[in-house]
């Protein structure tokens, strides 16, 4: 057997490095974000047939831009990620990747993604993508430690992929794109507050202020989730009102919105982690069902 010094770097592993970069970009979360962007692109009236090459290009550009924002987020939050159980094994927080490497990747991926949007789609979608990346990485990320208004600020870049997809396909900022933006914008509040409720101890340890009440998970917080879930009902009708999708999808979206209201009311009644987790998982199901229903019933 050959003795190894503790300071000797571990042998390079391509699979381990690939896994680190998937964690750096929050690959699963990025997929969800890009999924909404692609669906909203396909919902644009000017997109009358599925051009799989353009869909692939939009997917790649979206993954690069979203991955860039997430990489900056992890580089900035290196120390806070290290003290939270759920994030301590992230590559930058654990020391497997340097902050400089994360920033370098973010810079290259972000520029490449925005340029792809500009070249293959249009300047409006590229500028909107760049703005969304900046807002998430440099406004929302540091604001999380200052005030819970960070959730409101973060909801804008969180919903902008819908508008970006619409603008990429339609080359305008018409009402339909804002309706889709509104659905995802409001959805984020019960979704994110449910996550913050479940992970409250971890978030508090890191100094994050993400719940609407300074006292943590309270009835005020639960009532906020109910309020935003109720607001989702009229906004969910807008795609039908603006002629994006038909009546069948309107009823499906209405049922999904009522389902979210019920789950939030159960949180208000139960006031426990189990109820918050139920809201969280319901929100994961809600978004793909709503977006796919609108796409399937596109007018």
As to burial, measured by CB atoms within 10 angstroms (0-12 exposed, 13-18 middle, 19+ buried), residue 92 is: buried
- pLDDT at residue 5 above 50? no
Q: What letter would DSSP give residue 136?
A: I
User: What is the pLDDT averaged over residues 257-279?
Assistant: 97
Say what the pLDDT of residue 11 is.
Answer: 54
- pLDDT at residue 9 above 70? no
Say what the pLDDT of residue 8 is.
Answer: 41
161 neighbors 59 (Cβ within 8 angstroms): no
Task: Measure the N-to-C terminal CA separation of the chain; round to a whole number of Å.
Answer: 69
Say what the pLDDT of residue 272 is.
Answer: 96
**Interval 142-178: pLDDT, tens:** 999 999 999 999 999 999 999 999 999 999 999 999 9
Give me the chain's average pLDDT, please: 93
Interior/surface letters 174-205, b for 16+ CB within 10 angstroms, e for the rest: eebbbbbbbbbbbbbbbbbbbbbbbbbebbee
Q: What letter would DSSP give residue 9?
A: P
- pLDDT at residue 6 above 80? no
40 neighbors 19 (Cβ within 8 angstroms): no
- Please report which confidence band the pLDDT of residue 22 belongs to, taking 50, 70 and 90 as the band edges: very high
- Give the domains, in start order, of the chain with CATH numbers: 16-169 (1.10.357.140), 174-299 (1.20.120)
């Amino acid at each position: 057997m050959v003795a190894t010094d503790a300071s000797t770097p571990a042998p390079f592993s391509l699979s381990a490095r690939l896994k680190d970069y998937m964690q750096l970009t929050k690959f699963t979360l990025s997929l969800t974000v890009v999924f909404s962007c692609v669906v909203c692109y396909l919902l644009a009236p000017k997109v009358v047939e599925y051009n799989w090459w353009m869909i692939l290009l939009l997917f790649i550009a979206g993954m690069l831009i979203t991955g860039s924002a997430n990489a900056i987020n992890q580089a900035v939050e290196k120390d806070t990620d290290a003290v939270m159980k759920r994030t301590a094994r992230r590559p930058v927080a654990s020391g497997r990747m340097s902050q400089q490497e994360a920033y370098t990747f973010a810079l290259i991926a972000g520029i490449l993604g925005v340029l792809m949007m500009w070249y293959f789609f249009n300047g409006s979608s590229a500028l909107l993508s760049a703005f969304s990346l900046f807002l998430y990485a440099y406004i929302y990320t540091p604001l999380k430690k200052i005030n819970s208004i960070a959730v409101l600020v973060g909801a804008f870049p969180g919903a902008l992929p819908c508008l970006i997809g619409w603008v990429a396909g339609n080359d305008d900022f018409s009402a339909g794109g804002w309706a889709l933006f509104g659905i995802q914008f409001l959805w984020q509040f019960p979704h994110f507050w449910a996550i913050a409720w479940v992970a409250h101890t971890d978030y508090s340890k890191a100094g994050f202020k993400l719940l609407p009440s300074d006292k943590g998970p309270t009835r005020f917080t639960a009532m906020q989730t109910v309020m935003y879930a109720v607001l989702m009902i009229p906004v969910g009708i807008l795609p039908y009102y603006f002629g994006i999708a038909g009546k069948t999808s309107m009823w499906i979206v209405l049922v999904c919105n009522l389902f979210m209201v019920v789950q939030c009311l159960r949180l208000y009644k139960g006031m426990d982690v189990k109820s918050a987790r139920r809201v969280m998982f319901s929100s994961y199901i809600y978004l793909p069902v709503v977006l796919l229903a609108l796409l399937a019933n596109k007018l």
